[in-house]
Chains A and B, each alone.
Chain A
Amino acid sequence: MPTFASEAERREILDYFSGRFGIPEKAFEGFCFLKGERKIWVVRDHPELEKILNQLKIDSAGIPLLRTKTSMWKPTTAGLHFFGRHATRNVIDLEGDALRAFLNRESIEGPFSLDPGFVIVRWRGKILGCAVYGKGRLRSQIPEKRGEPFRGKADAEETEGPSA
């Protein structure tokens, strides 16, 4: 059951997004961070939120924002879809073959002008999700299930028009 992040933990989360992606603190105003076992959730703030969390056994709140299983935090696709538009660094735009490779959860050879670590992937200004950059190579972090519809479809239609 998720519990509220402390002030210090909230600060740590805000610093992570600001430091890594340049997302300003302001983007998170009006939202609460909740800690789960291996995740941090972000949920819309509401005057009754705390009371409901005490009254009911809530399994999840809002969307997952970060995976905290290991010492290296990993931003989620859902979290980046929502807040990624505010990012000013470690963002890469993909088109054509590179875009298809990303959706197929494949690696893309660089080098790219990115800091090693997790980066945000965009397509024509729209946030697609997360990739990890290292050793000149970009590795897609699209969740396996969400990438399923695109798997094995190396046709331009899948990404630039009707897929059927």
Chain B
Amino acid sequence: MRLNEKMAQTFNRYRDIIPDYEGFLTALEQPLPVAIRVNILKIGPGPFRDFMTNQGYKLEPVRGIEEAFLLHGIEAPGATLEYFLGYYQIQGLTSMLPAKILDPRRGEIILDLCAAPGGKTTHIAQLMGDRGLVVANDFKPERTHVLRSHIDRLGILSVLVCCYHGQAFPLRRKFDRILLDPPCSAEGTYRAGLPPILSENPKVARHLVRVQKELLRQSLAVLRPGRTLVYSTCTYAPEENEAVVNEALKDGEAELLPISLPFPHSKGLTSWNDESYQPDMVKAVRFYPHQVNSWGFFIAHLRKRS
């Protein structure tokens, strides 16, 4: 499948920041593999692999994420009995990283501010052993139906669902850790054959940046001092990534933490066009599909200063 001409033009502005740009374009023409996350609340990765192999599935382990597998030779991974039983969740490999980086602990109270459809929410609960509380918020009630269906299917009892506008999330409750995966232009989800994505429309892109900055501000306001927050998007646009995080860093409210990862990746940018960002921005990470055959992603790990 050839890359859409319009999308090739859109991505051209990243020519100087994406390493091996031609390799990046070639990767966009490849099909995306089906990645799944084992629901370790129901079955361990080893027994899951044995069970699925006995059932006739072809699984490939993913180095660096014990609970992740690539599922080969299957067109409808959401239509199996094993999926129905809640043994696994379909989730891109890079989408599994924000919850891993957040590193939630048993007993903690976590906020996932833009939670639907719930892949990361359920992963957080899973990493806590379903012990603690995860407040999963999404301002669109219809989107929380999908979130709830995953919670029910995976058998997670530690998630509370609410529907606040993220920018107006009540300040009276403070959290131990926060995941902020805001609405974004989703450039990282583009593969050849798919329709062009949101960044095609500058008005929409500008609106998203404003919303992202407001959401990050509100997230830091409800985070306990000294505690951590993960900001992630599935877009390449520095305006929605480094520029948003930079707002929180420049006034000294938060600091960036280093991220250790099992996959090849690139560092966050310290400048883009005429704008400069905090030197620490190199601690943020960028993923491109020719580095990891998954969604393009940006992740920053912040700590609110005490």
Partner-B contacts on A (CB < 8 A) = 31, 42-44, 46, 48-49, 52-53, 55-64, 76-78, 81-82, 103, 123, 126, 128, 145-146, 149-150, 158-164
In the complex formed, the residue of A with least CB distance to B125 is A44
Q: 4 shortest A-B CB distances, which residue pairs?
A: A149-B79, A78-B152, A164-B75, A161-B56
The answer to whether A149 and B84 touch (CB under 8 A), given A44-B158, A56-B162, A59-B144, is yes
Cβ of A78 and Cβ of B81 under 8 Å apart?
no
Cβ of B133 and Cβ of A52 under 8 Å apart?
yes
Cross-chain pair count, CB within 8 angstroms: 120
The contact of A62 among B141, B159, B170, by CB within 8 Å, is B159
Residues in chain B near residue A59, CB distance under 8 A:
141, 144, 161-163
Cβ of A78 and Cβ of B153 under 8 Å apart?
yes
Residues in chain A near residue B83, CB distance under 8 A:
149
Partner-A contacts on B (CB < 8 A) = 55-57, 73-81, 83-86, 107, 109, 130-133, 135, 141, 144, 148-149, 151-153, 155-164, 170, 172-173
Cα–Cα, bound, A31→B158 (Å)? 10
Cα–Cα, bound, A49→B78 (Å)? 33
A-B contact pairs, 30 of them (CB 8 A): A31-B157, A43-B157, A43-B158, A46-B109, A52-B133, A56-B135, A56-B164, A56-B170, A59-B144, A60-B144, A60-B148, A60-B161, A62-B159, A62-B160, A63-B151, A63-B155, A81-B153, A128-B84, A146-B84, A149-B78, A149-B84, A150-B81, A150-B84, A158-B80, A161-B55, A162-B57, A162-B73, A162-B74, A163-B79, A164-B76
- B42 vs chain A, min Cβ distance (A): 9
The contact of A128 among B85, B107, B155, by CB within 8 Å, is B85
Cβ of B75 and Cβ of A77 under 8 Å apart?
no
In the complex formed, the residue of A with least CB distance to B144 is A59
Cβ of A55 and Cβ of B173 under 8 Å apart?
yes
The answer to whether A63 and B157 touch (CB under 8 A), given A149-B79, A159-B81, A163-B76, is yes
The contact of A160 among B55, B79, B156, B173, by CB within 8 Å, is B55
Cβ of B74 and Cβ of A52 under 8 Å apart?
no
